[in-house]
Amino acid sequence: MGATFPQALIAGVTGTVALRALVALRNRVLGGPPPYAARHIAARLARSTLHVELSPAQARRWGDAMRAIYGPMLGVGWALARESAPAGPVPPGLLLGLGVLALELSSFPVLRATESPRGWSIEEHAWLVAQTAVFGLVTEAMFTSMTR
């Protein structure tokens, strides 16, 4: 059974909330936010597209707003794609996480939303993989629980 639009939004919000909890841990472990932190992306995009310098507090709020839109929209996109996702050894939630990872690694440099991923540490790369996996697994778990 396919998901409805409200279910897709709820699933994306749930994945986003789980991601938010992981982000706090990530920042503590790394000693600060990585280059792909929502606040850094917000500041870079505001600077490059709007020619506006954001204060750290503004960048944090803009980053939170971007995440509040991005996560639910990923949920909607996944609702459209999950019925045709290939069955195989990769669980659907990890498939979503891998898709988000691929989207972010390919779009961040093009949009100049982050510095080049080549400059990121191994730990920063590992945390991006972990956070996209958590988002995908939690989002898919919510879909599964709502569409049974």
Domain map (residue ranges) of the chain = 5-146
Amino acid found at 109: P
The answer to whether residue 80 scores a pLDDT higher than 70 is yes
The pLDDT score that the predictor gives to residue 44 is 97
What are the pLDDT digits (tens) for 95-129? 999 999 999 999 999 999 999 999 999 999 999 99
How far apart (Å, rounded) are the C-alpha atoms in residues 84 and 134?
21
Interval 1-20 mean pLDDT? 93
Q: What local confidence, expressed as pLDDT, does residue 57 receive?
A: 98
**Mean predicted confidence (pLDDT) in 62-69:** 97
| Interacting residues of 128 by C-beta distance below 8 A, sequence separation 6+ | 34, 36, 101, 104, 105, 120
For 103-136, letters b (16+ CB in 10 Å) and e give ebbeebeeeebbeebeebeeebeebbeebbbbbb
- Who has greater pLDDT, 86 or 107? 107
Confidence of residue 87 (pLDDT cuts 50, 70, 90): confident
pLDDT at 1: 53
SS3 label, residue 95: helix
